[in-house]
Amino acid sequence: MVHGASRLRKWALASAAVGALILAVDAQAQTQVTGGGTGVAENAAGDDATAGDNTIVVTGSRIRRNPLDQSAPLTAIDSADIARTGLSSIGDVLQRLPGAAGGLNSRFNRSGNNGNPPDGGGVGAGSAEIDLRYLGSRRTLVLVDGLRFINGSAASGIPGAVDLNAIPDSMIERVDVLRDGASTIYGSDAIAGVVNIITKKRQNGFLATAQLGGYDKGDGVTQNYQLSWGHRTADDRVSVVVGANYINQGSVFAGDRPYYAFPDPGATTCTTTCSSGTPNGRFIINNPVTGESMNLTLKSNPLIQPRFDPLNPTGADSDFKAFTVADRFNFRPFNYLLTPQERFGAFVNFTGQLADNVRLSTRLIYNRRTSDNQAAPLPLFVGPDAGNGNLLHRRRSLFGGGRLFGCALAHLFRRRR
């Protein structure tokens, strides 16, 4: 009887243990499920000390959602924030936001601005663009009051992006920047994000601002003048805002800043990053006597035909010397760090409630920009690809009468013009 009671007691304990285990598993499963299959749940089996370590975060869901109703990373900048920056272009302001990459701006100086022709009339010469998340300016959509704005022109034929300098600063009330892909709503040009510029629609009276500033070196002087006037009726059914702005930005040359005086920032002499096309020319020839391959340049810029001694090419009787890194051409002093430009813009915003269900909105914008780009003298290369190796010089050229420069097909001549 004792053994029988003991066996019954063991079966009862085992059944109770299994039942407790089932109840615990069911209770744990119930605490992990939330409404809709999403959210955060804690492990009920853990104690209070380890509850944070067992957190489950659901990052995906099969629930159908409307992207128009979802929150997104939005940055709002009002006119007061823009004024506090002291910058004269909304493009320069937006390019300082987190997530903004290096689009074209007033500090971009390149022959043609990544386009042709080399006179600076290429893609976006003198313009300011916004590039979000390093996906390119043409993947960032720019809206004005929720409507697409026209792209800037490109003399080289390559499609340009929206020129933010074409939008008068005095008409901007707020800028909303969506730093998230919105291609499902707007299309492929909004893969990087969306910039929505909200213009002034309500103003009473005059508003005028003036700004004058420059650098401690005395260059880069910038003038910024803005004026706007607005009026609205007593019943607030009709509102009109008129404004204009004038901006004149001076230049800063790279050679005027020691840190940027050479292609390698901070360098004090030319390195291999300087150009091999020197003003005195570079001659890669084979010595007709010894057959040695030589890399030469002129000791100075002679006014007559230079002398070459094949027995001693770099001696006293020769106008040539061995080409070294120190002979390379430093093109940086010719380039701008800050490009000069002059902008004038004007706008008119009219809003009228014609009827209870009829609203008229009209926006007129005028902008004129004059900007300069400057590049160093272009190198002239003559070598095997130059056909017969002859370089013709115009007879009526300002640099002299008709001359014919010859170059053997196996030789190479480099010079800047």
pTM for the model: 0.66
Counting every residue written for the chain, the total comes to 417
- Inside any domain, residue 352: yes
pLDDT at 248: 94
Burial 283-317 (b: 16+ CB within 10 A, else e): bbbeeeeeeeebebbbeeeeeeebebeeeebeeee
d(CA 271, CA 255): 16
Question: In the prediction, which pLDDT does 370 show?
Answer: 87
Residues 95 and 232 in one domain: yes
Burial status of residue 156 (CB atoms within 10 A of its CB: 0-12, 13-18, 19 or more):
middle
Residues 236, 385: one domain? no
Do both 88 and 161 map to the same domain? yes
* pLDDT given for residue 406 in this prediction: 40
Residue type at 283? F
Rounded to 5°, the CA angle 126-368-205 comes to 120
DSSP state of 148: E
Domain assignment of residue 88, yes or no: yes
238 and 146: one domain?
A: yes
pLDDT at 52: 55
Please tell me whether residues 193 and 105 are part of one structural domain.
yes
Same domain, 307 and 343: no
351 and 302 share one domain: no
**Statement to judge: residues 204 and 317 lie in one domain:** no
- What average pLDDT is seen over the chain? 75
Which amino acid, 416?
A: R
Claim to verify: residue 294 and residue 198 sit in the same structural domain? no
Q: Which residues constitute the domain of residue 98?
A: 72-251+339-371
Domain membership of residue 159 (yes or no) is yes
Q: Identify the pLDDT of residue 247.
A: 93
pLDDT of the chain, 417 residues: tens digit per residue: 444 444 444 444 444 444 443 434 444 444 444 444 433 344 444 455 445 567 776 555 555 555 556 566 788 999 889 888 888 788 888 888 888 876 666 666 654 444 444 444 444 557 788 888 888 888 899 999 999 998 876 555 556 688 888 888 889 999 999 988 887 788 888 999 999 999 999 999 999 999 999 999 999 999 999 999 999 998 989 999 999 999 999 999 999 999 999 999 999 999 889 988 888 888 888 888 888 888 888 887 665 677 888 888 888 888 889 999 989 999 999 888 888 889 999 999 999 999 989 999 999 999 998 888 777 887 777 766 555 555 555 555 544 444 444 444 444 445 554
Residue 383 and residue 280 share a domain: yes
Asked if residue 2 belongs to a domain, the reply is no
Q: CATH number for the domain including 96?
A: 2.170.130.10
Q: Quote the number of domains for the chain.
A: 2
Residue 42 is assigned to a structural domain of this protein: no
Q: Residue 142 domain-assigned?
A: yes
Does residue 7 lie within any of the structural domains? Answer: no
| Residues 322 and 295 reside in one and the same domain | yes
Domain assignment present for residue 46? The answer is no
Name the residue with tokens 């013709």.
Answer: 392
Q: What is the pLDDT of residue 12?
A: 44
Ramachandran region of residue 389, left (φ > 0), alpha (ψ -120 to 50) or beta?
A: left
Helix or strand holding residue 13 (H, E): helix 2-32
Q: Are residues 115 and 245 in the same domain?
A: yes
Give residues with Cβ within 8 angstroms of 95, minimum separation 6. Answer: 102, 103, 105, 128, 130, 131
